Chain A
């Protein structure tokens, strides 16, 4: 159940209407594709980044009009999944409202929603999405004793067979 950050593709969220400025501020060696969703662009590096995290930092420094960005995540079949900005935590036991509040505060998260069907599963969003490298956030959450699993929420391509 892997979600590896892509060394080549990044997803950038920005206000619609700022895409021209974004395009102008892209560093060299980067192609940009505007996805169907308004305000979401896919950035593809012409060469593989040695360190996706470092590349992300540079991107955020360049793209001052971007709301937030994240590397696209790849699964174990190397299929791409596009982060939505949310992360999901599966706790070992269903947390109380107070426990959730403390957890969110400790990790600088905002509570998005408790899962309708599974009490132990909760979706969050970083309070500072722009300043958060999402793959590292998941890694940190997984070190918490009460956390069973954690993953980035993503959108994906599905094929009707």
Chain B
């Protein structure tokens, strides 16, 4: 549904909960326990604003609210969610209307009466602004929206909307340190190119990715990491065994199947070979919540899907099903790996187009590979994948980044003067950083040596999450197109269509991408 803004522009709203007392939550609520909690919280917080009788005093607000809550025969407030921002708004009985000054009192009152309403109070500061309600107590909650819209379209009305109690978010934007130059490059090192980054700051003025889910398909994600724990996805079905994800490397009936955390480790514990230490840094690049080492989408949720046990051979059937599983729950899928061309994996990439996001498809971001200019690897080269290469802090193609006609774009990563700082496996003495300052800090919670097309890929996936957080209606090809169109062309070799074998359509620009997403109809 929609309400009309001050300029008669439509503002889309989703009905989250029609009537809190009737407890008939929408599908959105059922699919998101967080949303249910938020809806309940805002209803509880808004009770003080729902005034039952005229002539109230502020001192009796809570008492009035309590009396409303205790009435079992009266519907409770409705909860709606603004589609573009995800912010919640509740409404109980009132409509606020602003008349043009030229409209006389008699005409105003006739309009109010014709709408089946009565005047509850007049704004003390703006006499043209009234608060209305249904004296018969028949029109409540979401039913007020069409009534308000009809009034808003009337001659002589400046605006008319349900009298919402709304959620406002005070946003402390994450701080970006020098180690996260890929988000905002201040050229702290001699030779770094100023602003050679994905323009995170600009994007974050509009969104941090709330409401989206990014699936990380890899060797596991340390979901207990202090900067990932608050971002972990939780299955909306509290009875489901896969509360946080699945480990597809082991059979479905294996006791570890529903634990997608890193499991394989062997000495030396700071080398990728033999150790499940890859997925955690990827997850951090995408959506870490740390104030000082944030991901690009620090309010997105991380869904952990384990498909590898370090370097062991993996069953293609299981990798394929992991993609399908991720598509079932996640908005965006990140795959920082390559392998041989498997028919099942190739089919799964196609299936994700119909399984994901109610048929709109989950965009699947895949690393082109670190073969030093070799052809783009699989699955990145598959038509359904979005192939991500790597650029550096010197605005060059990373020397290892594979090339070819399938490259969609590049994202900043290692290979220049600096690598990427991100979350590291937090288990003691495990991970790229075993607990030294030169490696990213004595806590061992971060590594400053991550990179490759492995790091570029979740960065791109996180930018897609930012896009989808403000434009959830885009299908996966639209997401790909929007990201391509908003890239910055770095380097050279672009053809007439604006595409380069090395850089694809260029280096991602999150700020432009989010702005473009907001402008989509």
Contacting pair B308 A75 (CB below 8 A): no
> Is residue B341 within 8 Å, beta carbon to beta carbon, of the partner chain?
yes
Contacting pair A161 B370 (CB below 8 A): yes
State which of B314, B319, B343 has its C-beta within 8 Å of the C-beta of A149: B343
> Is residue A55 within 8 Å, beta carbon to beta carbon, of the partner chain?
no
State which of B307, B308, B312, B324 has its C-beta within 8 Å of the C-beta of A118: B324
Considering only residues 103-145 of chain A, those with a C-beta below 8 Å from chain B are 115-118, 121, 123
> Is residue B342 within 8 Å, beta carbon to beta carbon, of the partner chain?
yes
Specify the main secondary structure of chain A where it touches its partner. Answer: strand
Contacting pair B308 A1 (CB below 8 A): no
State which of A80, A153, A159, A160 has its C-beta within 8 Å of the C-beta of B344: A153
Q: Which of B36-44, B159-167, B332-340 contacts A (4 or more CB under 8 A)?
A: B332-340
Measured in the bound complex, the distance between the Cα atoms of B341 and A111 in whole Å is 25
State which of A86, A117, A149 has its C-beta within 8 Å of the C-beta of B321: A117
> Is residue A88 within 8 Å, beta carbon to beta carbon, of the partner chain?
yes
Q: What is the chain A residue whose CB lies nearest that of B346?
A: A1
Over the window 9-38 of chain B, the binary record of Cβ atoms lying under 8 Å from chain A Cβ atoms (1 yes, 0 no) is: 000000000000000000000000000000
Measured in the bound complex, the distance between the Cα atoms of B346 and A49 in whole Å is 29
Considering only residues 434-474 of chain B, those with a C-beta below 8 Å from chain A are 452-454, 457
Measured in the bound complex, the distance between the Cα atoms of B338 and A86 in whole Å is 23
State which of B308, B321, B351, B452 has its C-beta within 8 Å of the C-beta of A158: B308
Q: How many residues of B contact A (CB 8 A)?
A: 40
CB B500 to nearest CB in A, in angstroms, measures 20
CB B28 to nearest CB in A, in angstroms, measures 23
Contacting pair B342 A161 (CB below 8 A): no
Contacting pair A156 B313 (CB below 8 A): yes
- Please, which residues of chain A bring their CB within 8 A of the CB of B314? 155-156, 158
Considering only residues 20-78 of chain A, those with a C-beta below 8 Å from chain B are 36-37, 75-77
Also in contact, A153 and B324, with CB within 8 A (given A117-B351, A161-B337): no
Contacting pair A159 B369 (CB below 8 A): yes
Contacting pair A160 B316 (CB below 8 A): no
State which of A37, A81, A90, A121 has its C-beta within 8 Å of the C-beta of B340: A81
Contacting pair A80 B340 (CB below 8 A): yes
Measured in the bound complex, the distance between the Cα atoms of B315 and A88 in whole Å is 13
Q: What is the chain A residue whose CB lies nearest that of B317?
A: A153
- Please, which residues of chain A bring their CB within 8 A of the CB of B278? 160
Specify the main secondary structure of chain B where it touches its partner. Answer: mixed
> Is residue B250 within 8 Å, beta carbon to beta carbon, of the partner chain?
no
CB A148 to nearest CB in B, in angstroms, measures 10
> Is residue B4 within 8 Å, beta carbon to beta carbon, of the partner chain?
no
Over the window 1-16 of chain A, the binary record of Cβ atoms lying under 8 Å from chain B Cβ atoms (1 yes, 0 no) is: 1110000000000000
Contacting pair B347 A75 (CB below 8 A): no
> Is residue B378 within 8 Å, beta carbon to beta carbon, of the partner chain?
yes
- Please, which residues of chain A bring their CB within 8 A of the CB of B367? 161
Measured in the bound complex, the distance between the Cα atoms of B308 and A115 in whole Å is 20
- Please, which residues of chain B bring their CB within 8 A of the CB of A75? 340-342, 378
State which of B340, B346, B377, B452 has its C-beta within 8 Å of the C-beta of A156: B340
Contacting pair B308 A160 (CB below 8 A): yes
- Please, which residues of chain B bring their CB within 8 A of the CB of A3? 343
> Is residue B355 within 8 Å, beta carbon to beta carbon, of the partner chain?
yes
> Is residue B325 within 8 Å, beta carbon to beta carbon, of the partner chain?
yes
For the complex of A and B, 4 pairs with smallest distance between CB atoms: A79-B340, A117-B324, A75-B341, A151-B343
Interface residues of B (CB under 8 A from A): 218-219, 272, 278, 307-308, 311-317, 319, 321, 324-325, 328, 336-344, 346-347, 351, 355, 367, 369-370, 377-378, 452-454, 457
Further pairs besides A77-B340, A157-B313, A158-B314: 8, Cβ < 8 Å = A1-B346, A88-B343, A153-B315, A157-B311, A158-B338, A159-B339, A161-B338, A161-B370
